[in-house]
Amino acid sequence: MTFRSINVKKVVIILVSIFFVASCSYIFNTSPSDKEVVSQVKETLEKSLNDGLFRIERVEKVSGFKRNESYIAVIEYSMVNECDLSEMKRISRDAKLTRDYKKVAKIYILEERYGRFNAGDIEHKWRIEVEFIKSEKGWVVNSFNPSKMLQLK
């Protein structure tokens, strides 16, 4: 055996080992990382709940579990008002013109409940379960149902 054939064998063994470890980590990756969960959930929440009145803050994965072939992440997050009452009243007038009566009602309820308030004064805490499935691109949000959110005190 020559020195060169030994080096080629080492390189081949190293490459095969790297491929094996990489494939095993994909196959045995039974749940998304906390960072993946928080990032994807925050993006999903911002897309689905962005009404110009509240912003999403403090998204945190509190637990998670396997269910069949999917992964369920239990998430807690806060929604904080982005503007004060006078700005919300302006938004309410615009919402009436576009017939967004759900937004008008939300602003009315906020005023009744909190009176005069400034941006950042109101915070609502929520808990929700989000289902992830494994795809060829990794773990992705499969289902997110805002109607099943639980408001925390």
> Residues 99-147: pLDDT tens digits?
888 888 989 999 999 999 999 999 999 999 999 999 998 999 998 766 5
Q: What is the pLDDT of residues 35-62, one digit of tens each?
A: 999 999 999 999 887 788 999 999 999 9
- What is the distance between the alpha carbons of residues 95 and 117, in angstroms, rounded to a whole number? 20
Residue 131: which CATH number? 3.10.450
pLDDT for residue 26 = 47
Q: Do 21 and 48 belong together in one domain?
A: no
Per-residue pLDDT of 88-98, as tens digits, reads 999 988 888 88
Q: What is the Cα–Cα distance from 35 to 17, expressed in whole angstroms?
A: 27
- pLDDT exceeds 90 at position 24: no
Contacts of 45 (CB under 8 A, 6+ apart): 56, 59, 77, 144
Does residue 149 sit in helix, strand or coil? coil
What amino acid occupies position 120? G
In this structure, the answer to whether residues 141 and 66 fall within a common structural domain is yes
pTM above 0.85, yes or no: no
Q: Are 98 and 23 contained in the same domain?
A: no
pLDDT confidence of residue 138:
93
pLDDT of residue 84: 94
Give the three-state DSSP class for 132.
Answer: strand
Q: Does the CA dihedral 5-9-12-18 come out positive or negative?
A: negative
Domain that includes residue 108, residue range = 84-119
How many structural domains compose the chain? Answer: 3
Name beta bridge partners: 73. 64, 130
- Which of helix, strand or coil describes residue 142? strand
